[in-house]
Structure 1
């Protein structure tokens, strides 16, 4: 029997049934053929199919065209509209809403800005978004896969059958989309992709997924679209006014999975962290919590630095709303939240970004540019505008949707240099023959510019370990545009000094002074981070030499030296109470140590250092500018004594003195910037902190002494292995 003019071509029918059709919207759903309207549906397992409009008008029974479940028939309609099917077989009846009777959700302006690489709301367009569309509730899916022959949404709702919900390709952009009625919050899904070679790619999680399954499962989850109700308006308004270079910034770095654990060993939830972590950090006087990466990641021992779901807060601790409640609680307590962000590389797990559409899409094809030998990861192709847009939008997403205050960008040096951790012949020079990754540099500048432009009061921090100039200088002056840079040199030099027996320190005095040569070349954060207390490096307390008392005294003196030093402060969790074991991400910190006076003493000191740092402008308002610092004594090698003055406009000066030997120094003569009474704001040898309780009875008198280069001189008692912070008292 001859095929009627309105019937689908048998080749199209076979292609739909076999899941090889590249344009299902050209076949399925309502199609106008000349003067006729034809309805076609592919519903596996159905034996009969009846069609209805959304208002219930019966359009009749469709005729079977293929035993696999392809049906079609002419219908009495005069325009395109959503369709509901009633399918039946011997097992019963069920309703199916036709995805192919809906128009596209994305529009020509989306195509334009996506094609230009300037779209800054991709997180509202790509991924899975539950919505009302053309009169019905459902979820819109969109994903970038320009080299695919077919892309389908699969999940339990369609038996993971890629033939059931193939997507429409927007050929100008390579984005595939489909609106699937009824689906909503909590739906599990992935993308089934047929590559240009006709082969199936391993099922892929959604790059823009806002929620993921709990590992080891890897499906994406349609998130709840209900907007989170924030109560941090006052905090956010105040944040807009801040120049963080001149504000106190003391950061508590935390790995959420191992700060504390439940009694059964399980993770605390985001809500439990809001109840326990936030008040603990606020009570210690910190200004910010910095979280190791919380983007979804499959492997716990990666600490989050190998993420597969950049847009999804990890499900280990709850849902996205739970994470928002944690941030909101921090803001209500006056704490900022910094996230570690990983745009340098990504893991090669088959459900992730690697060879996403069967080709090297997000990464470089050439392993000399696209493979990272240190971490066995793929490197983003920063020369591809769509990849740059993916990453720029991700940064903006965290800042906007979760009110994040700052992003600490991981492994910046690995992005800047083409030959990073590579031998000769293992890297490709840039077009000028150099080793600078020009494309990555432009990406870094762009993401920093957009973050500062769109979210005043936020900041970007670089983990960058080389001498690259202008990391924390504005882009318009030739810099990379970060607000701050981790000072790895300070950390390495001072820890090396502190790990030496006191008798040898006089030969390495410059380890503690060298950093001041370049201290104001960047806006620095002084980091004693997680990287210093893992992989056999031991904890900070165990790096200190001497017996138990000297180890604690050394650590206390070192902390106060750091808090008095120019630069913002960062301390990893557990080090605030001198955790003895090095960090293990698989278990909680040793909180029982706080029952011991020496450990509790260190915790008290950190709280008092934070209070002094926040309360005394001289200690923070010129952290990044040379006029805020002046050496008083920088060359007393023999006694291992250091002294300097900190200043800020309109505030009283502060003098910091460190004695890094176990020998007390009585009648130590110290030039002073001003005559008068100087109060011991902090003395790390105080009995309250576990010290020997030696000092200057709470205050020092500086007497005028013209002609000595300084206006005054004081005679002090310097306790052993201790740091004093003296505040001028104008009263």
Structure 2
């Protein structure tokens, strides 16, 4: 039996063993010896033939599962006859040329391909006139990479990929479309076959299954043009930004259907309508990139390019974003470029080497979280992460990325003792490579997706986090004010009798309030792991707990800085958050809880309507202390929004002592309307107040030109708006 010239026994043996790393040099059609030869490797096939324009041509078996024969010019298909006599016709993947072009290969090689997801991953497409899916992956140290799935009985010998460029592998598989389940079988640097999920896959199976899923993400019809035109103004540091932080799996559940979480489409109606009714301006979603372990809440992602299938496919996630935009709400994603889990099907030792992570655990392993740290100094890894940020902003119209655990990225000695970390090239603790990555990410995000915002969850005093890169900053739009959160929560949890000794915890934040563009966060981290709910942090009996909580929210909404509140906190959920169940919605129907919910709704309304409460958030000209009385635990200040904005006065009483005929200075005489009172009966308070407002006379006090006399209820915040002479 004739063998194709150039096909030796070693090639046949390597194909049969699944160790051939140059399959396109052997398989498919080749001109040799003056004839056109076709070679095909088809495990489990009894007979194989080629269907050509000239008719069916039998391909003799020339080895184990290997077939070859001469065919004429022109197109062809293959016909396989299985052992039971069933025949199937299909296209030969090895007759198709490469899909990736020279520009893609060049950009991928130098680590500057900001549309990485358009080159790598699994793309439903037409190639050379045939429908199928193009697969491409980066695995430079692999000995062989194959696409495996139900379509080839998960046999890595069937579809080994073409090695191209700088460590890239690709193949076009005809007939594979949306919904196909697949993995990459990688014969790694050690010669071991390891199944891996696609690092740039657009979909995945439901956990605990681990395979990727082909998803056609093209062709979505957006209806959010109006929002996209105005969102830049909505993210300006002078805009009102009030964020509702949500864990999608535990906001609400369908208790009538086994307690399942709501789908993206259900959330597009129920969640969006609720958040809009509550007056928030933005939704922030805990990570929705695919993750294997529910208990990580998404902070240990495996599929950075795949919206989690827990709530529906990618287009349905777009339905949620589109609905939010049409309701005037921005959508922020928690994004995790700081670490990734060690799960065997993920990025860990992807091609048998420390490809995405560092080899040295002193640089590449988080001791706190048992996760791996990206090698930000590797150009391909940095490109993978920067492109991922752009992917969410461009493909899903995401309005902002809140970057998790930035402090752990900035410092090489983060949570490490002596000898457990590697200094930078200058002997210091700063992680130069991570800093460069964050700057590059922010430059790319703001440059290529106008109108978005990025937010750093950064807990240290690292300078200029929210300053532009060209001014020496990290380039974030905003920074979470973790110091403010820690200080004020410690204060508000104290028995009021002790608060006068810790008054500085409520005022210290103003020392640095204008050094960054701050967001004041009461996030999910404050209501888990035994920390108790916001309500149960408060001291005193039930009435005092609610009064303290209302006063704290009043203080927060009147304090400089944008706002963030985790779900359930807006109605004073009694229990701390449990990701395995839904929020305690029955509690929200009880009068005191409903009062807190009404207060948050009104705080959001007042915050949006009063420019003085948001316009100069990041500028000292927008704030002035009036009273700072530790002995009585009273704080008072003025907020200003410019000459065209009414001044706003906030007075806080953090003791359970009512203060009648309380006199305090104000900048100008005239009518001061009581715009909000956290002690109002509608909020569950005692209903003590000032009958709608007071009139200031020209009696100087507190360094101000005028003064007012007010009734200051116990454990309350009063907000007055100047209405004129």
Q: Provide the TM-score with structure 2 as the length reference.
A: 0.98
Verify the 8 A CA contact 1:185 1:225 in the aligned structure 2.
Answer: no
* Cα drift, residue 241 of structure 1: 4.2
Match of 1:449 in 2: 443
Deviation at 1:331, TM superposition (A): 0.6
Contact 1:656 / 1:725 at 8 angstroms: preserved in 2?
A: yes
2:217 matches 1:236: no
Render the CA deviation track for 1:354-381: whole Å, top value 9, x for unaligned.
0001111000000000010000001001
CA-CA distance at 1:33 after TM superposition: 1.5
Greater shift, 461-470 or 709-718, is seen at 709-718
SS for the counterpart of 2:253 is coil
Equivalences for residues 320-469 of structure 1 within 5 A: 320-469=314-463
Residue 599, structure 1, aligned to residue 555, structure 2: no
- Deviations along 1:702-729, whole A, 9 cap, x unmatched? 1123586312111111011000111111
Q: Name the CA shift for 1:545/1:241 in 2 (closer, same or farther; >3 Å).
A: closer
Matched, 1:95 2:89: yes
Per-residue Cα deviation, 1:498-552 (whole angstroms, up to 9, x for no partner): 0011111111110100000000111100001100000000001111111110110
Structure 1 residue aligned with 2:8: 9
SS at match of 1:271: helix
Q: Of the candidates 613, 616, 620, which is equivalent to residue 619 of structure 1?
A: 613
Task: Name the residue aligned to 1:105.
Answer: 99
**2: CA distance between counterparts of 1:707 and 1:508?**
25
The CA distance in 2 between the partners of 1:65 and 1:500, in whole Å, is 83
1:602-658 C-alpha deviation (Å, 9 max, x unpaired): 000000000000000000011111111110112x11111000000012211101110
- Tell me if structure 1 keeps the 8 A contact 2:661–2:711: yes
Q: Residue 680 of structure 1 aligns with which residue?
A: 674
Map of 1:177 onto structure 2 = 170
Match of 2:273 in 1: 279
SS of residue in 2 equivalent to 1:152 = strand
User: 2: distance between equivalents of 1:90 and 1:714?
Assistant: 95
State the 1:6 CA deviation. Answer: 2.4
Q: Which residue is 1:530 aligned to?
A: 524
What residue ranges of structure 1 are gaps of 5+ in the alignment? none
1:87–1:95 Cα contact (<8 Å) kept: no
2:445 is paired with a residue whose SS is helix
Equivalent-residue separation in structure 2 for 1:527 and 1:658 (angstroms): 20
Per the alignment, in what secondary structure is the counterpart of residue 162 of structure 1?
A: coil
Runs of 4+ in 1 over 6 A off after TM superposition: none
- Other-structure match for 1:29: 28
What's the CA shift for 1:4? 5.0
Contact 2:234/2:241 (<8 A) preserved: no
Q: 1:335 to 1:350 in 2, by over 3 A?
A: same
Mapping of 1:472-483 within 5 angstroms? 472-483=466-477
| 1:94-133 equivalent positions in 2, closer than 5 A | 94-133=88-127
Separation of aligned partners in 2, 1:77 and 1:27: 18
Q: Could you list the per-position Cα deviations for residues 410-438 of structure 1 after superposition, in whole angstroms to 9, with x for gaps in the alignment? A: 00000000000001000000000000111
Deviation at residue 393 of structure 1 after TM alignment: 0.6
Q: Equivalents in 1 of 2:323, 2:305: separation in Å?
A: 21
Q: Note closer, same or farther for the CA distance 1:5–1:455 as it changes in structure 2 (3 Å cut).
A: closer
Indicate which of 227, 240, 257 corresponds to 2:219.
227
Residue 667 of structure 1: CA displacement? 1.3
Secondary structure class of the residue paired with 1:257: helix
Paired residues of 1:288 and 1:337 also in contact (CA < 8 A): yes
**Shift of residue 200 of structure 1?**
1.6
Contact 2:334 2:402 in 1 (8 A): yes
Q: For 1:504, which of 498, 501, 526 is the aligned residue?
A: 498
- The answer as to whether partners of 2:217 and 2:315 remain within 8 angstroms in 1 is no
String of CA shifts for 1:113-168, please: whole Å, max 9, x gaps.
11111101111110000001101000000000000010000001000000000000
Task: Assess if the C-alpha contact under 8 Å between 2:244 and 2:566 holds in 1.
Answer: yes
Distance in 2 between the 1:553 and 1:708 partners? 27
Provide the C-alpha distance between the structure 2 equivalents of 1:96 and 1:696, rounded to a whole number of angstroms. Answer: 82
The residue aligned with 1:247 is 239
Matched, 1:709 2:706: no
Q: 1:207 — aligned with what? A: 199
CA distance in 2, matches of 1:134, 1:141: 15
Distance 1:631 1:82, change over 3 A: farther
User: Is it true that 1:610 corresponds to 2:600 in the alignment?
Assistant: no
Q: Tell me which residue corresponds to 2:161.
A: 167
Match of 1:704, SS? coil
- Whether contact under 8 Å (2:217, 2:314) holds in the other structure is no
Q: After superposition, where does 1:137-152 map in structure 2 within 5 Å? A: 137-152=131-146
What displacement does 1:730 show?
2.8
CA 1:135–1:455 in structure 2 vs 1: closer, same or farther (change >3 Å)? same
Q: Equivalent residue for 1:288?
A: 282
Residue aligning to 1:62? 59
Structure 2 unaligned spans of 5+: none
Q: Supply the distance in 1 between the matched residues of 2:277 and 2:166 (Cα, whole angstroms).
A: 51
Tell me how far 1:57 sits from its aligned partner: 4.4
User: Match for residue 664 of structure 2?
Assistant: 670
CA distance in 1, matches of 2:76, 2:449: 40
Q: 2:186 aligns with which of 187, 193, 200?
A: 193
| 2-structure distance, mates of 1:94, 1:424 | 64
Corresponding residue of 2:49: 50
Displacement of 1:97:
1.3
Mean CA deviation greater in 209-218 or 235-244: 235-244
Instruction: Give the 3 Å change call, closer, same or farther, for CA 243–269 of structure 1 in structure 2.
Output: closer
* Inter-CA distance 395–57: structure 2 relative to 1 (3 Å threshold): farther
Q: 1:655 aligns with which of 649, 655, 666?
A: 649
- The two structures have a TM-score, normalised by structure 1, of 0.97
Deviation at 1:199, TM superposition (A): 1.7
Instruction: Give the structure 2 partner of residue 307 of structure 1.
Output: 301
Q: CA RMSD in A?
A: 1.3
Aligned-pair CA distance for 1:82: 6.0
Taking structure 1 as reference, are residues 557 and 101 closer, same or farther at Cα in structure 2, changes over 3 Å only? same
Aligned residues: 722
